[in-house]
Amino acid sequence: MELSGTSLATQLAKRHGAVVIAVGRNQEVLVQLLARGADAAIRVDRPQEELAKAIQVGIAAGEATILPAIALRAAPVQLSGSGIGGPAALEDAEAAYDSLLHQVATGDISLDIDPTPLAKVEQT
């Protein structure tokens, strides 16, 4: 079961004010993500009609909308992604990593750790 990266992302997103919806097939992982702060969990290994009802929220007005650009400029909305523009500046990445380590050290963020003796690292 791979949880650590997903759990870390869930905790960081919640600390930054995001609403986190965990989606997956593994019920055990979904329960653990809820325990780590996810607002909701949706299992995707169920009938299509049931899944559509669980995911579709607020679609009564239609599937698309026209939104004036000023509404986004004036709102506290941040859209981000990856691709053109490259990675963050080294200083920004260093500050983010330092902040993450501090949050782990103070217990604000939990990590799922499976200790492995150094002699067995190549085996795992």
Q: How far is CA 1 from CA 25, 29, 32, 54, 73, in A?
A: 11, 7, 11, 24, 41
What's the pLDDT score for residue 57?
55
For the chain, 124 residues long, give each residue's pLDDT as a single digit of tens: 455 678 888 999 898 888 898 888 899 999 999 999 999 998 888 888 877 776 655 556 566 777 778 877 777 766 555 555 667 788 988 998 999 999 999 999 988 777 888 998 888 6
Nearest-angstrom CA–CA distance, 120 and 110: 24
Q: Where are the domains of the chain?
A: 4-60+86-119
Give the global pTM: 0.59
